[in-house]
Chain A
Amino acid sequence: MKVELFYSPGCPECAAAQARLRSAAEEAVRDLEWREVSAVEQIDRAVDLGVLTLPSIVIDGELVFTSMPSLKDLRVALRERAGRK
């Protein structure tokens, strides 16, 4: 499962939260491909995916979170999608 976290570079709080989210995602699903994507460097891809706010999380090409989710919400979203596969 591919998870892309679009973020605004230079946000120290976001960096700490991103690390926690990544750990939660790794616990939730086995086949995880985690990418942290700077919205500045990849603005075209962000717009392609409908990202308008930061941080946003895209799971397997689908925009799922448009703000920082709780660890629990991220785990639930990942497990739901893993169950569908």
Chain B
Amino acid sequence: MLTIGKLASLTDVSNDTLRYYEHEGLLEPAAKSPAGYRLYDAASTRRIRFIKQAQQCGFTLSEIRDLLVLRSRDATCCGDVRKRAIEKKLQIESKIRAMKAMSRALDQLIADCANEKQPVKECTIIAALERANGARRAQRP
């Protein structure tokens, strides 16, 4: 059995993160010591590596909890997990598009600001952002 500190060092996460995982229902100690300290088994190490890998693929902790439930169910087939992976890819691709649009908008603002020595009151970037803010306010009923 592993203490929380040992598990944290084996998996390269902090003790606080492990407690947070427990709070979020992602991890449970296998037992408690007579003094009341959390004790973890080898499966906990695998579980934390799974959580970290899934986070790197963009899954939220709530989605990872669902994946862990799927992983433990006998009736789950690979298609169930694949569906979630495809949905995550759709969400990531959609975010990439939104970020690219933001990047293009910034390109335009940067290009419009030809004179970087102008005083801030004449800054075209700030003026454009203020105009956008004003336009949004005007659209409100």
Contact = CB atoms under 8 A, between A and B. Distances in A.
Contact of B97 (A10, A47, A53, A54): A47
Interface stretch (A20-28, A29-37, A38-46, A72-80): A38-46
Main secondary structure of the interface of B (DSSP, over half): helix
B90 A8 contact: no
Main secondary structure of the interface of A (DSSP, over half): loop
Interface range on chain B (Cβ under 8 Å from partner): 10 to 19
Nearest to A56: B90
B86 A40 contact: yes
Interface string A1-31: 0000000101110000000000000000000
A39 B77 CA distance: 19
B79 interface: yes
A43 B79 contact: no
A52 B86 contact: no
